[in-house]
Amino acid sequence: MQYSMKYIFGFAAAVCFVCSILISAANVGLRERQRANELLDRQQSVLQAAWLVEPGERVGRERVQELFDNVTPRVLDLTSNALLDDEAAAAFDPDRAPEKPAPENRAGIRFMPEQVEIYEVIEDGEIVMLVLPIVGQGLWGAMRGYLALDVDTRTIRGLTYYEQAETPGLGGEVDNPRWKRLWPGRLAYDDDWNVAIEVIKGPAGPPEENPHEVDGLSGATLTSRGVTEMLRFWLGENGYEPFLKSFRESGRA
Ligand SMILES: Cc1cc2nc3c(=O)[nH]c(=O)nc-3n(C[C@H](O)[C@H](O)[C@H](O)COP(=O)(O)O)c2cc1C
């Protein structure tokens, strides 16, 4: 049986139309679930940075929610360096946060969010840690993660990346729990509150002997430098430094 050209094109158009409707419906229908999964992923990273779960350990939604009972998300305005009140914070969407051009930096950051979600970790009613989002360029692309600082705003409690495109076995070792174990106890700032933490080439020794340096990733000097530069930026005057300073001065540290 021979079909006319009109029939063939009409049939193909009808198939395309039906498929596009199905794909759009699936996209809209799954969006909520996608967003819920993204949120869960972010929460897991926050918990890993704070070592409330082991790096690499996957915990279920219920356990994350249980642990998050002791983690308070706050929204920090990076222009006024003040925390937003609860009402303004409730309307904040981290995926739609407006951005502003970043001041000159060596971390490859061209635009930075005007507001960020940070997290207070609570124990016995007291803040014991602050978990701060960080982002900067690795060798192959942006690396996004969290830095957990002790309430003294100086001692690092953990560092984790939830998004990075570095080469597995080289720069990708930023995800290796062994490397992440090197961070807790190091000091982000020196005695004069200058950013002092640095990933060096080669081994750095334990935090008690070498509080400001962390082992470099072998064969991945460029990724290591990316980590150092993003910490310098985010802990510096254009990042969290003014907020951390006022946090300390408010007597909460
Ligand atoms: C295929 C390939 C992938 C690489 N991936 C990374 C990487 O993810 N991070 C990195 O810093 N260097 C990576 N490098 C190595 C860099 O090009 C560079 O040689 C290295 O950072 C220098 O580090 P080193 O002084 O510790 O040897 C890669 C090299 C090749 C050939």
pLDDT at residue 253, rounded to an integer: 65
pLDDT at residue 137, rounded to an integer: 98
Say if ligand 1 is within 6 A of residue 215 CB. Answer: no
Atom of ligand 1 nearest to the CA of 225: 11
pLDDT average, residue stretch 214-239: 98
Say if ligand 1 is within 6 A of residue 220 CB. Answer: yes
Rounded to whole angstroms, how far apart are CA atoms 150 and 248?
A: 11
Q: What is the pTM of this model?
A: 0.89
Q: What element of type H or E holds 118?
A: strand 115-123
Say if ligand 1 is within 6 A of residue 166 CB. Answer: yes
pLDDT, tens digit, 9 for 90 and up, residues 121-161: 999 999 999 999 999 999 999 999 999 999 999 999 999 99
Say if ligand 1 is within 6 A of residue 221 CB. Answer: yes
| Mean pLDDT over each residue of the chain, to the nearest integer | 94
Say if ligand 1 is within 6 A of residue 139 CB. Answer: yes
Atom of ligand 1 nearest to the CA of 167: 8
Q: Smallest Cα–Cα separation from 96: which of 142, 143, 146, 38? A: 38
pLDDT, tens digit, 9 for 90 and up, residues 204-215: 999 999 999 999
Sign of CA dihedral 75, 78, 83, 87: negative
